[in-house]
Structure 1
Amino acid sequence: MTGVPLGIAAAVLWGAVAGALLPRAACRFAVPAGEGWRDRCPEGHALRGWLGPARCGECAGKGAADAELPDPCAGKGTAAAESSDACVDEGAAAAAESSDACAPPYPAGPSDTPGPSVGTLPYTPSAPLLAAVTALLCAALTAATGTRPELAVWLLLAPVGVLLAVVDFRVQRLPDPLTLPLAPVALALLGLAALLPEHAGHWLTALYGAVALGAGYFVLFLVNPSGMGFGDVKLAVGMGAVLGWYGWSVVLLGAFAGFLLGAVYGGALVVVRRAGRRTTIPFGPFLLSGALAGLLIGACAA
């Protein structure tokens, strides 16, 4: 375990870099149900790529070019001071006309309230916050797993989990391009880890866990479609694969933790009167959090 501190430092660096690249994908995926993924900014410019800051490059470039243009009102104050012998009424009228010509095309806000930066998209999650959360998550996974080969799988999947949680919290939607390949990718990577020495899990149990947890959530979806989205079912398949790597007890623990965290969050909203008993809440973040709790405990016990 002598390499664990160095591994934690490397995991923090990986998590910070990966998390800082998530805002653009979060912005593009965070659209209401039934709409296609965001591919244009409010000005109609095409959005390209999925990684990086949540900004429109064309809008930002246009704003920078506009900032370099000369101010048409510059120097008018000096000219007015030099013509102090002009008629007061004419000076007042000219000043009012000049003020109208130079006024911005929007109402001025408080001086201490900054406006949105040029090129900012409708939803711009904080890059430093996502970087910090992902780095902390990767550090915890590294500390629990040690130098075992499955750690590489957890570190690759961690940014995807953060992105899914952010999008679901924003629009209560779990994107298919992320949830559908999650289980096959996790099982493929865990299959490679199972070929390496010193691994601490079982690939077949991961496969069975994916089927079992996905089936369980599918039954809940059939029983109460308004309380369980089908995106949660697809996400549960991937989380079952991850939890199943460390055994059935970890699958049960992770599933229970997810429901417990969701219930606590919903109950807290009801207590502070920010939600009613029938208010729907995004369950994906709690499914992911429960899986993380089970994964950390399973890795420590392995």
Structure 2
Amino acid sequence: MSDRNASTSAFGWDFQTNSAILLMLENIKNAKQIRVEGADEDIEITLQDNSKIYAQAKSIAKPDDYNHVINKLSDALETLSLAAKNGDGSLFTYVTNSPNPFNNQRTMSYFTGRTHLDYNELPDAAKNKIIDIVHKKGYNNLDLHKFDVRVIPFYGNDLKNRYKEILACINEFLGEININIPGINTSIMEIWQRDLFQNATQTDTDIFISKEKMIWPLIVLVIDKSTSREYEKDFDEDEIEEIERKYKLIINQNTMSYKMITRVTFDYRGAKKDKKTFISENWRDYQDIVDKLKTDDLTKQSLVKIILYRILTQRHYIKNIKRGANL
């Protein structure tokens, strides 16, 4: 997806993948799993009650090209109507990057920027166009009261511009769960893009990505990027970065160890101190994890504090992530 000269088909796949990210995040609390290129639709999200959100993602390569938008809308309504026969659809979504999805200058103002409109919220001209297509083509299985339209600005060879609305959606989710770690938004976007694109290439349409599997990389990133920044005034920043680089394995082993996490959090709750005071006054209780290292005492002290800070910080982050994703 990093090809700046991608073909129209590759652009369409890219739009489909990123639309899946947006739809999954917007429904993260109620979602159970997601499939790109599903058995029936471009995107299929299974909810906790086993009903599904069916979505068709149709893109145009040039945002000012309206020649084929009605054909794309008609194609989407056709497949969504077919999916409606399954009887398990709770929502049927048409996703496009066209700012003029109904090829009508009078309705364009409704679709400025990232837009989500239920069928009943659409302008009359748009509703009439949908009804006209449905009646002429016989797409009568589709309950239009379960239908909505989403517009995601998504265009250009500059990937920062192309993905800006997807990144904005990710930032909104991270803000809701109080994650404010520099660079984590771009990192998780790239992981989700890769994983969902790979999901689309699997011929077995029964292979879904569970919500847990989607959220786990975010938890790993949080653990990896949680640093001892509160101690920068006590230690040289370059020194801390060197310790984190040199002892990355022991840091990861301890911050991801259930036994170590339980030990630290149990002591922390019992101490009834704030995080910084606890680390400053109790770090010596955990010297056993660094005793065998052949290094100076100051480095050992710094390493223990980094591990303690990460455990106590990630505990808060992971709790927020799980709450935000309803895990």
TM-score, normalised via structure 2 length: 0.28
Determine which structure has more spread, i.e. the larger CA radius of gyration.
1
**Which structure would you say has the larger RCO, counting Cα contacts within 8 Å and 6 or more residues apart?**
1
Give 1 or 2: higher strand fraction.
Answer: 2
Give 1 or 2: higher helix fraction.
Answer: 1
TM-score, normalised via structure 1 length: 0.30
